[in-house]
């Protein structure tokens, strides 16, 4: 467990927290309603990328400087701020007060547009940014240059894949209102960027079912149909049998604690990381047929009480997370993939997004 404190006076700013991997939806903006907390209580994550001012435009920074910072395609702005921001859930924050003149937001809360809006209650130093406005996942981001670890966390050991399916919850794809869960849209957006990169521009086939609902339409629309040979993608991971036939590409889980990506067995050329909560749902996905008190139901008949959740629209990956991920893959410098990046950048809400 770790405790974060003010770098100036040493006052404790958080409850004891344990490190986990940064969620793929950490910087997602979704809809116009209040979203829940980004982090689970008692956890923290570290963003390895720089964030915040000063900002420089793509043309001002230049392609060489951008590539040195791990960005290989044009982005709206490059941050030259510090890296290593620590994110915790708002309920784990201690000893802070709001900086009232920095409490601006869009409509329902704080969006952090004015910089750090939480100060250390003991010495007054600006130490963190609380974000709880609509469209944002609620979180507190500790400024890396304003905090220190008071009680060091133990180094994370290797990922325990054997307990993944027992210790972590899956995220259902559809919300009760019929909308696709935004965490699915974020995870699919990031995975899609990796899928395109390893496809080398060839069409990709995915098996029927929830995996096809998530990826088939977008892959068919973005990848040119004439290229050959076609490639196949399938789900793989701990507890699952090796796909038969063996696919060219395996969608595998990224461990939610360590961020480690599961390694597929020999014979699978490429792996694509997928958020563990989404992977778990895909791995467990099957239609549950009920057994009535007497008799039985014919094969293929679905229960009607309660009705299974069905989406009211076609699935759309998050375009901004897709672009964010794709811009940080060196493969985006290839002309065919750069063309996809440019087309989506120009109109991020055109089909299939």
Which tens digits make up the pLDDT trace of 93-111?
999 999 999 888 888 888 8
- Burial degree of 140 (CB within 10 A; 0-12, 13-18, 19+): buried
Cα separation of 185 and 278, whole Å? 10
**What pLDDT, in 10s, does the model give residues 231-290?**
999 999 998 998 888 999 999 999 999 999 999 888 898 999 999 999 999 998 743 434
Angle subtended at Cα 222 by Cα 275 and Cα 63, rounded to the nearest 5 degrees: 80
- What is the pLDDT at residue 352? 85
Residue 302 has pLDDT above 80, yes or no: no
Chain Cα centroid distance, residue 74: 21
- What is the pLDDT at residue 243? 85
Mean pLDDT over 170-178 rounds to 90
Residue among 89, 68, 88 nearest 78 (CA): 68
Residue 164 has pLDDT above 80, yes or no: yes
Mean pLDDT over 45-71 rounds to 89
- What is the pLDDT at residue 303? 55
Residue 55 has pLDDT above 60, yes or no: yes
E strand residue ranges, the chain: 3-6, 18-19, 43-47, 55-56, 78-79, 85-88, 96-98, 118-120, 126-131, 139-142, 147-151, 204-205, 231-235, 249-254, 270-275
Cα separation of 309 and 180, whole Å? 10
Determine if the pTM surpasses 0.75: yes
* 181/32: higher pLDDT: 181
Lowest mean pLDDT among 17-31, 43-57, 296-310: 296-310
Residue 35 has pLDDT above 60, yes or no: yes
Please count the other Cβ atoms lying within 10 Å of the Cβ belonging to residue 137.
24
Share of the chain above pLDDT 70, in %: 93
- What is the pLDDT at residue 291? 46
Residue among 111, 109, 88, 114 nearest 12 (CA): 88
Cα separation of 219 and 226, whole Å? 13
The whole-chain average pLDDT of the chain stands at 89
C-alpha distances in Å from residue 253, one per residue of 33, 34, 280: 29, 28, 8
**What pLDDT, in 10s, does the model give residues 122-135?**
999 999 999 999 99
């Amino acid at each position: 467990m770790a405790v974060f404190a003010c770098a100036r006076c040493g006052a404790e700013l958080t409850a004891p927290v344990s490190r986990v991997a940064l969620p793929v939806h950490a910087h997602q903006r979704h809809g116009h309603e209040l979203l829940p907390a980004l982090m689970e209580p008692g956890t923290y994550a570290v963003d390895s990328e720089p964030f915040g001012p000063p900002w420089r435009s793509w043309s001002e920074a230049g392609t060489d400087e951008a590539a040195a910072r791990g960005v290989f395609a044009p982005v709206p702005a490059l941050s030259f701020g510090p890296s290593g921001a620590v994110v915790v859930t708002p309920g784990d924050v201690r000893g802070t007060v709001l900086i009232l003149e920095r409490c601006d937001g869009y409509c329902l809360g704080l969006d952090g547009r004015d910089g750090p809006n939480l100060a250390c209650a003991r010495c007054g130093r600006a130490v963190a940014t609380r974000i709880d406005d609509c469209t944002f996942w609620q979180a507190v981001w500790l400024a890396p240059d304003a905090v220190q670890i008071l009680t060091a966390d133990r180094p994370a050991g290797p990922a325990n894949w054997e307990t993944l399916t027992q210790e972590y919850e899956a995220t259902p794809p559809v919300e009760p209102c019929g909308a696709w869960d935004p965490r699915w849209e974020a995870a699919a957006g990031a995975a899609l960027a990796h899928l395109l990169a390893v496809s080398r521009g060839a069409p990709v086939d995915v098996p029927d079912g929830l995996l096809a609902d998530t990826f088939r339409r977008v892959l068919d629309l973005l990848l040119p149909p004439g290229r050959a040979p076609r490639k196949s993608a399938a789900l793989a991971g701990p507890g699952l049998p090796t796909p038969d036939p063996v696919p060219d590409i395996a969608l595998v889980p990224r461990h939610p604690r360590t961020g480690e990506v599961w390694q597929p067995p020999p014979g699978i050329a490429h792996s694509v990381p997928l958020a563990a909560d989404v992977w778990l749902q895909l791995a467990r996905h099957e239609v549950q047929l009920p057994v009535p008190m007497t008799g039985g139901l014919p094969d293929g008949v679905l229960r009607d009480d309660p009705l299974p959740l069905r989406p009211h629209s076609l699935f759309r990956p998050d375009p901004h997370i897709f672009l964010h991920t794709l811009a940080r893959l060196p493969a985006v410098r290839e002309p065919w993939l750069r063309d996809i990046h440019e087309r989506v950048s120009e109109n991020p809400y055109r089909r299939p997004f």
